[in-house]
Chains A and B, each alone.
Chain A
Amino acid sequence: MTPQSTFMITATVRVGELKNLRALLASLNQEEIPGHANPENDLIPFGKFDRLHFARFVIIEAKTAHEITAFGVNPRPWRPTLAFLGDIDGDRVSFLTQLAEHAASGLKQIFSYCEDFSEEDSDLLEWMKRHNVNQQANYVNWIGRTVKQIHEEAALHQSLSAYLQQIVDEVGRENIRQLRQKLLSYVEMEKHKGRLTLTPPEPTPAGWKTKNLAHKFGVPLILLLVSPIFLIIAPFFAIRLRMLERSDPELFIRTSREHIKTLTVQEDWDVSNQYSVFGDVKPGLFRLLTFKFIVFLTDYIAKHIYNRGYLTRIKTIHFARWVFVDNNHRVFFASNYDGSHESYMDDFINKVGWGLNLLFSNGVGYPTTTWLIKDGAQREHPFKYTQRRHQLPTEVWYKAYSGLTAVDLARNSRIRQGVENRQWNDAELREWLSLI
């Protein structure tokens, strides 16, 4: 199995260069589809990198920085920052090396709009490594599912479904054993002709395996050890939490229509969309530590529990990550999800409102919660306003498998399993046929 990893290269944009940088980044996009990368563009031919799932360039601006003044705190300065992020198969360094090899001139052109980068003397790879920011939590829809696998399985599904259409009338719908036999021989034939490939998974890297195991058992062990301390502080935590929840200012600020427009022109072209938000952590150590602890737990459960197609009740997120920046004063969140923005948010409110509240209620502008999990997102309009207000448009967004949702990917994998594991009873066989 090939585990996934991430990169996020950030650098401050040079003063006065924001507009030029935006124009350059726009040249990576398809002409008619705002914000959507042309996979074959000259600067960074995303489509050539067969380990790359998603990528985006976003300029992180603190447009909502003033909101923290409601807490009686002065906004911290923030300079517009370019972030280049992606989700990849295998490890980061080898991917960045590939990037530096095959897209050096494009990347150099882009990064030359950033401070402390000059096209002539910088070692691009070293510079990128130095400017990489690690996330505090990362969610991968299906750990181990590679881009290559996704493409192979999509091709398998397509070819099987066309063939099934052809043969079903002549074989008969009820003749399921014969249908299977024909489909399987067809796959063999197509493989033989080189039109289908089903590459077996790579062995799991030993280092990753050990680290993953140590994390899986180490974290609960440590938590168990420190649990007496948690018990002691629990009442104080509860009192302080309720005090803050009662006293924190509630910001009911409507998002401007221009802002919504800059976001929506980029949405709903494909079956998936991108989402980036940026905001301040509420002032005070209490909020920061609570935030960090919950994000830490999220990372744990995403790695070890929710790594098979669903994040609690949500099956529409491909990748998501939480990144603390500006010395833990600010948080950046990025995700790639299926469906429209409105349905993403409604799904969230109804299915995992409690989870959202846990994760984001320590951010400035979030609607008031009760006991950290109640209310909050269920206050529909304050919630919808705040999440749009803090959202950033993307400059460039790339998805390696447009037209496919996470549910499609899971289905295609099940179809492939059906081809490879041949022990079936009738019910399983019918189920498999119904997927094609």
Chain B
Amino acid sequence: MNKTSNFEFDDLQGLLRFGHGKLTDTCFMLLNIADVNAAKQWLSAAPITNASTTDALPDNALQIAFSVEGLRMLKLKESVIEGFSDEFIVGMTGDESRSRRLGDVGDNTPSKWEWGGSETAVPHVLLLLYARQGELDHWRTTVEGEHFATAFHLLSQLPTQSINEIEPFGFVDGISQPTIDWMQKQSTDIHERDRYSNLLAPGEMVLGYPNEYGYYTPRPLIDPQEDRLAAELPDAEDEPRLKDLGRNGTYLVIRQLSQDVPGFWQFLDKEAASDADRREQIAAAMVGRKRNGTPLIEQHIPGVAAEDHGNNFTFDLDPKGNHCPIGAHIRRANPRTGDFPPGVTGLFSRLLKILGFAQAPEEDLIASSRFHRLLRRGRSYGPVLSPKDAVKPDAPAGDRGIQFICLVANISRQFEFVQNAWMVNSKFGGVQNERGPLVGHRKPLIDGQSTDHFNRPDAAGTMRTVCHLPQFVTVRGGGYFFMPGLRALKYIAATPANGRDSAS
């Protein structure tokens, strides 16, 4: 099945394929629809960037995504909306149980957010503008055109700032990303993927294609017999009679995460008794990489290019976390596990593993990573503050953080799972009552046991424990959005504004 030559990159929004890294200036706009007709008019002409490659690097880019309320405002039929996933329909903050699962409690509680904190506060449209340095204003004027001000009400403009791929705590970010197997060359069969591979079926990131289970994630399919406008939509591969509104689209998860940079470095400085090297060591252990991005584990694994030093490893040779703690951010975010624990060499050892025999007590506690990957597309914001300056008692305060964005085909299995089972879970991989050192809240368990620790296992035996870890990251906003393919966007824009349930 060689599909790359005819993969419909021109129907895909560019963000699914590119991070637009060279376009350093960005503007993330949260919009509500003020005038439906004007909005539709603007949408049908909007210069949305697709994913096909051009000879010269583009000077700018524009991407768009809608919340469920946005789609309702644009008069998408309720029967079509029902084709989306529950998480998208209910929303990030629409259900307290979800907030509890995501760790949006205490200071992270949605009612304290700056935006998106309640069902009604979720913006209708998320508009992402990217441009080369200094050219954003010009691009914005071009994008907005004449109808924009009538069509939309600007709720807020999220702060963003390019600080050369370095997130506010001072670490190089954006090193590890899944590689999408556009050609669908790799088998998804559970019996053929014992080991970790960074190559991922397109259906994990793009709707309308087979996912890692080999199936199509549910999404809105439309019968063109009943809805003439749908005729222009792509066919549903798994239901050839129907048209696929989801195809070439994806879900976009956004969270504004504010980072207490002075708090982070001052705490570590105290912990390290003001020894700069030790301070860096603890910080690196928490992230799982040094500040320059070097991983704490050296290894070569098949399937990752040898020159990609930053990603040429799994944690297989470090089962106890003596080199990279189990609780480190990148180990939680992507444990790099295969379908089987390491050690499957032949039929017999495979059978033993399937049946759960011959295992160390702490082995095989973590799910297979390929079902829980995220395509990260966030940007950081706030004035730069180096660790050296951050430890000073008079370090300048400032609003810093990440506009965390990830693209996934299945919000609950990918984003929510990673956030819940891996990031904030106090028992991840057998750790002892500690939540993610960077992003976790620090609320105790219901029986009162504290969770504000970070443990570094040590070859000597006794773990090194950091106690009374404060919360460094606080959620300030967020929401679930649908980022449609370009034909789907045309369909959404073309839907008559007076509703169509009775018409056609």
Contact = CB atoms under 8 A, between A and B. Distances in A.
Interface stretch (B92-100, B393-401, B487-495): B92-100
Contacts of A312: 354-356
A340 B426 CA distance: 12
A171 B284 CA distance: 26
Contacts of B425: 339-340
A268 B361 contact: no
Contacts of B467: 165
A354 B354 CA distance: 10
Contact of B417 (A33, A343, A379, A429): A343
A429 B467 CA distance: 24
A379 B190 CA distance: 12
B31 to A, nearest CB: 27
B315 to A, nearest CB: 16
Interface stretch (B132-140, B262-270, B379-387, B444-452): B444-452
Given A168-B462, A434-B462, A338 B427 contact: yes
A216 interface: no
A342 B412 contact: yes
Which interface class (under 10, 10 to 19, 20 to 34, 35 or more) fits A? 35 or more
Given A402-B445, A433-B461, A267 B97 contact: yes
Given A257-B86, A434-B463, A347 B367 contact: yes
A350 B367 contact: yes
Contact of B447 (A315, A381, A403, A410): A403
Interface in B376-435: 412-413, 416-417, 420-421, 425-427, 430, 432-433
B213 A176 contact: no
Contact of A271 (B412, B426, B430, B462): B426
B353 A313 contact: yes
A2 B459 CA distance: 37
A33 B447 CA distance: 13
Interface in A360-417: 378-381, 402-403, 405, 407-408, 410-411, 414
B447 A342 contact: no
A342 B417 contact: yes
A431 to B, nearest CB: 7
A346 B337 CA distance: 14
Interface of B: 86, 89-90, 95-98, 100-101, 190, 211, 213-215, 217-218, 320, 339, 353-356, 359, 361-362, 364-365, 367-368, 371-372, 412-413, 416-417, 420-421, 425-427, 430, 432-433, 445-449, 457-463, 465, 467
**CB-CB nearest 5 A-B residue pairs:** A433-B461, A430-B461, A403-B447, A264-B97, A343-B421
Given A270-B446, A346-B413, 18 more contacts: A168-B462, A261-B95, A267-B97, A310-B356, A313-B364, A314-B356, A315-B365, A339-B421, A339-B427, A342-B417, A343-B421, A380-B211, A381-B217, A403-B447, A403-B448, A407-B361, A430-B460, A434-B461
Interface of A: 33, 161, 164-165, 168, 173-174, 176, 179, 257, 260-261, 264-265, 267-271, 306, 309-315, 338-340, 342-343, 346-347, 349-351, 353-354, 378-381, 402-403, 405, 407-408, 410-411, 414, 429-434, 436
